[in-house]
Amino acid sequence: MIEKIANLKNEISSFTINNNEDLENFRLEFLSRNGKIQDMFKLMGSVPKEDKASVGKAMNEVKNLAQNKYDEAKANLHKKKKKSFGASDDISLPMPPRYTGSLHPLTKALNEIKQIFLRLGFNIADGPELEDDFHNFTALNFPPDHPARDMQDTFFVRRSDEHPDKNQVLRTHTSPVQIRLMKHKELPIRSIMPGRVYRNEAVTAKSYFQFNQVEGLYVDENVTLGELIETLVMFAKLMYGSDVKYRVRPSFFPFTEPSMEMDIWWENEQGGQWLEILGAGMVDPNVFNAVNVDAEKYTGFAFGMGVDRIALLRYGIDDIRTLYENDIRVLQQFK
């Protein structure tokens, strides 16, 4: 028996552990439940009583020897792995590339727009993307047969010809949030309302079935058209620089009177062109009536701008679909 123990001791001592595979083999051979050390302990039964104490002591020594060797080898292998830097390493080698995330151009444009209007004294509000007929159309003075209610433009979630007032739509603009604010908030109101909107339109380089708007509303006593234009011009200058070329021209919306649109001059290789970035106007008295605001006492202005358009202009992107494909090679350019 003593000889067996001595042999096992030798075997353990001469086992070389150079890598993780050796380490695992060592464990299986000696320390595991079916390993040689457990087998050795099983022989204890046949040891004469008077020798049990000394044999047991010798067996425990062997077991400790194996366990210590295992622990030490494991610790050494771990250290070796960590030690990645030595005299043979070339510290002049370039770092491997590290990719960090970046803000999406839409998020960047939206953040800039928000900063500008916060500076001008507006606060930020929002409303639901799923709207009813009243908020999206009726309260905004859309006549019952207005083409914008047509299937061409509007995604209907629920549609009833008998009860058109029960229609539910994906909002086609952020203007319904104006209605919600005027219904529920105290005057004066000076808010912007960013959000996603939906239109049932063919997808092209210039239009998409979903896009983003920032609505603006200022309602108080004595709000004037002059203040509206001043605000829009201020916005254009802060967004595109003080030398921006802009124009404001008359337009039509059911919920504003008078109405206008603002264009920004966009230089390109072919020369340049005017691009519309927003619609605006003085709140129509019919809208005030729909939300029980006293149209004799209050006036207001509203505007709605397309964030996608503004982002395309700001960052020189020529296809709106680029904004929704999330191609990492494109996004990497907006760091």
Residue 86's identity, in one-letter code, is G
Binding-site member from 40, 290, 304, 311 for ligand PHE (CB under 6 A): 304
Nearer to ligand PHE, 17 or 217 (CB): 217
Does 279 help bind ligand PHE (rule: CB under 6 A)? Answer: yes
Close Cβ partners of 89 (under 8 Å, ≥ 6 residues apart): none
Residues forming a β-bridge with 278: 262, 305
Binding-site member from 138, 141, 191, 256 for ligand PHE (CB under 6 A): 256
DSSP 113-166: HHHHHHHTT-EE----SEEEHHHHTGGGT--TT-GGGSTTT--EEE--SS-GGG
With H, G, I as helix, E, B as strand and everything else as coil, classify residue 218: strand
Region from 21-29, 66-74, 106-114, 300-308 binding ligand PHE, contact rule CB under 6 A: 300-308
Does 280 help bind ligand PHE (rule: CB under 6 A)? Answer: yes
Give the integer Cα–Cα distance in Å for 3 and 7: 6
Does 194 help bind ligand PHE (rule: CB under 6 A)? Answer: no
- Total of residues contacting ligand PHE (CB under 6 A): 11
Q: Output the smallest distance, CB 280 to ligand PHE, in A.
A: 5
Residues 211-230 binding ligand PHE (CB under 6 A) are 215
Region from 98-106, 184-192, 297-305, 308-316 binding ligand PHE, contact rule CB under 6 A: 297-305
Q: Output the smallest distance, CB 304 to ligand PHE, in A.
A: 3
Does 208 help bind ligand PHE (rule: CB under 6 A)? Answer: no
Does 167 help bind ligand PHE (rule: CB under 6 A)? Answer: no
Does 231 help bind ligand PHE (rule: CB under 6 A)? Answer: no
Residue nearest to ligand PHE (CB): 304
Beta strands in the chain (DSSP E): 123-124, 130-132, 156-158, 168-170, 189-198, 210-220, 246-253, 256-268, 271-283, 299-306
Q: What's the Cα-to-Cα distance from 308 to each of 249, 255, 321, rounded to whole Å? A: 21, 23, 10
> Do residues 187 and 298 make contact, with C-beta atoms less than 8 angstroms apart?
yes
Does 175 help bind ligand PHE (rule: CB under 6 A)? Answer: yes
- List of residues contacting ligand PHE (CB under 6 A): 173, 175, 215, 253, 256, 279-281, 302-304
